[in-house]
Amino acid sequence: MKNGSAKRRAGFSIIELMLVVAMIGILSVIAIPQFKIYQLKARRTEAYTNLNAMAKAQKSYFAEWSDYVDSLPVPNATPTETKQDATAVTTAFGVVGWSPESDVFYVYDSGSNGYLGQSCCATCFTAGAWGDLDGDGTKGALMYYAGPPGTAAGDLCPATMFGGGVPLNAGGDPLLNMVVVSTTAQDF
């Protein structure tokens, strides 16, 4: 004899499935852009690592030869969102004894007194990296200004990328011996 209560079949109703699909869609709309930003920031660490290593090599070279090595950006190098062969960068910076550990996202250069006709501090140098990690046509830059303590911003060699300019701290002194991100060009 049948019992008065009907047995419910196991499974999900169409409404429950639609709610789950909607929640997954909302979460993906939020998560995917954030994941891309984290990915771009992780790629930017290449420039931090390489600029610090380049600065260390420049300072070692200066300790031995009392001069810094100028290196123009690799000819015809255009930053893209994909890695590029590092052979040209290794050749450009071979004199100073620095080369990137692997292929690169960024284009690198370094300059000191007399670089491209500049007249600046003889015991200072500027190193820079620029790239277009997200492929939107806007180049982001990271700079490293090296100089003795007390160096005035006007005495530093301006960066060749983005027309120069030296980042300053809240007291108006230049940020020296550290990698600085150009906030005017980064969009992430």
| pLDDT for 161 beyond 90 | no
15-72 confidence digits (pLDDT tens): 999 999 999 999 999 999 999 989 999 999 999 999 999 999 999 999 999 988 887 6
Reference 145, options 158, 132, 133; nearest CA is 158
Tell me the whole-structure pTM to 2 decimals. Answer: 0.79
Secondary structure element (H or E) that encloses residue 89, with its range: helix 87-92
> Could you give the count of Cα atoms lying within 13 Å of 118 in the half-sphere of its Cβ?
22
CA distances from 66 to 94, 109, 122, 124, 157 (A): 17, 20, 9, 11, 17
CA distances from 51 to 79, 144, 171 (A): 16, 7, 25
Distance CA 147, CA 113 (A): 12
| pLDDT for 126 beyond 90 | no
Distance CA 66, CA 21 (A): 66
Q: Under DSSP, is residue 166 helix (H, G, I), strand (E, B) or coil? A: coil
128-150 confidence digits (pLDDT tens): 898 888 888 888 888 898 888 88
pLDDT recorded at residue 7: 64
| pLDDT for 127 beyond 70 | yes
Cβ atoms of 119 and 165 within 8 Å: the answer is no
Cβ atoms of 108 and 93 within 8 Å: the answer is yes
